[in-house]
Amino acid sequence: MAGMCLANGIVIAVAGVAWLLTTSAPELYYQLVQEDGSLEWATFWAFLLAAGMGMLGAVRQRRHDQTLPWCFLGLALFCFVVAMEEISWGQRLLGYRPPSYFLEHNFQQELNLHNVTSTKLRMLAMKVIIGGYGVVLPLLLLWPPLGRFARRMRVISPPTALVPAFAAMLGLYVWYPFRFAGEIVELMLGLGFLFALLVRSQEVPSAPLAELAVPAGSIALCVTIVGILGLGTGVVSLKRDTDPERLEAARAEMALLKRDLLQVAEAHGGKLPKRCKVHKRLYGYVQKYDARELFSLEFSKLSEEGVPGERVEFFLDPWNTPYWLRSRCTRNRTRRSTFVYSFGPNRRRDSTKWEIRGDDLGEYLDRVTPDEG
């Protein structure tokens, strides 16, 4: 029982810490939730370890009663796919360019399937997974006839003792009280599946779906492994591809993009569309705000100089990640900042809402601070 109490406490604590950071250290929170940061990598490792637990359960069930461990295998496959989707199948880590279908139809311009679908469908699927599998199913199986049927069919559900953790995930996801809460819920869900499959993979030989006790030490060990691997991989992903040719190409391309964007602004009465409230991949910006002039200006002519056509068409930098446009200003306009930028050699965002930082490369189109104003 202590193990399940600890598991619930850890999952719920993830939400509590995130909420605290949003108010006490918003910049730190913003950096933590960025792609390829330690939080995303921790989510990856939680789901990957859960997949391993699912495979362990499948092997143990097969050895024990010679039945097809279809549910364990399905859960293991699900967790593996979610883990790989979380890191876009290694796209940013390896720096490869995804097929053009994903560049055009995936709003993140990454090799993953979940961002090809609509936001409403993704949110519905998330609610069904958390609420249906994590809350409703364990409670339904408390009814003896359904419980016996599930045992015969070898259905693997989370332990009833983990329902509070899944209920907390669902509540946070539906409520969404702070920005990027979905990223926090993904980590919570990864831990939820890890703890559930840790329990179930140990139960198979003696009593499938029984509520067996799991030592708190096992739960703590799993969390420690996820934390260490997440932090370590997040640091490793900071590696820099300092190829001077790519750096020079990126700087030259952003100079062209700056010139092109200023020309677009001039065509729109001197201001970019949504000038004070935008942060989008440049391709998405062009599509949403009808700034299609960019498709025929200086940057678009780079394909004639040997730059790959897909890089030009979809506004990708030399590391095959999107160029971004960010524009922000205070209500009284005493501070404003507009810049086009690339994630740079490490292929992850280091910039803040106002400034180009880290190894990000960029060009300011407009910048005024209180001191300058």
- Residue 247 pLDDT greater than 50, yes or no: yes
46: three-class secondary structure by DSSP: helix
Would you state the pLDDT for residue 204?
Answer: 57
| CA distances (Å), origin 71, targets 101, 161, 194, 238, 302 | 32, 20, 15, 37, 51
pLDDT tier, 265 (very low <50, low <70, confident <90, very high otherwise): confident
What residue has token string 């691997």? Answer: 229
Q: What is the pLDDT of residues 165-180, one digit of tens each?
A: 999 999 999 999 999 9
Average pLDDT score over residue span 246-267? 92
Q: What is the pLDDT of residue 371?
A: 58
CA angle 363, 365, 368 (to 5 degrees): 110
Predicted confidence (pLDDT) at residue 270 exceeds the cutoff of 80: no
Unique residue bearing structure tokens 């991989």: 233
Question: In which element (H, E) is residue 367 found?
Answer: strand 361-368
Q: What is the pLDDT of residue 206?
A: 44
The one-letter amino acid at 229: L
Residue 315 has pLDDT above 90, yes or no: yes
pLDDT of residue 335: 80
Query: Residue 291: is its pLDDT beyond 90?
Result: no
- Name residues whose C-beta falls within 8 Å of residue 163's C-beta, 6 or more positions apart in sequence: 134, 135, 138, 139
Global pTM value = 0.88
Q: For 181-190, what is the mean pLDDT?
A: 97
Express each pLDDT in 186-244 by its tens digit: 999 999 999 999 999 987 544 444 455 678 899 999 999 999 999 998 887 766 667 88
Q: How high is the pLDDT of residue 308?
A: 92
**Residue/partner pairs of 283-286 with CB below 8 Å, 24 or more apart:** 283/103, 283/109, 283/314, 283/315, 283/322, 284/107, 284/109, 285/325, 286/315
Whether residue 237 contacts residue 39, with contact meaning beta carbons closer than 8 Å, is answered with no
Among residues 334, 373, 341, 371, the alpha carbon closest in space to that of 356 is found at 341
The amino acid at residue 53 is: M
Residues of the chain above pLDDT 70, percent: 94
Three-state DSSP state, 281: strand
Average pLDDT over the chain, rounded to whole?
89
Q: How confident is the model over 27-63, as pLDDT tens digits? A: 889 888 988 889 999 999 999 999 999 999 999 999 9
In 14-123, DSSP assigns E strands to none
pLDDT average, residue stretch 308-332 = 91
Comparing C-alpha atoms, which of 71, 165, 85, 154 is closest to residue 125?
Answer: 85
CA distances from 25 to 19, 29, 32, 64, 340 (A): 10, 6, 11, 51, 26
Question: Among the listed ranges 70-79, 134-143, 218-227, 358-367, which one has the minimum average pLDDT value?
Answer: 358-367
Structure tokens at 98: 């995804």
| Stretch (H or E) spanning 329 | strand 324-329
Q: Tell me which of 24-33, 268-277, 284-293 is least confident.
A: 268-277
pLDDT given for residue 93 in this prediction: 80
Backbone φ/ψ region at 23: left (φ over 0), alpha (ψ -120 to 50), beta: alpha
What average pLDDT does range 120-131 have in this prediction?
Answer: 94
Overall average pLDDT of the 347-373 stretch? 84
Pairwise CA distance, residues 285 & 326, whole Å: 10
Q: Which residue has the tokens 């997949």?
A: 51
Residue 221 vs residues 35, 70, 225, 239: alpha-carbon distances, Å: 26, 28, 6, 28
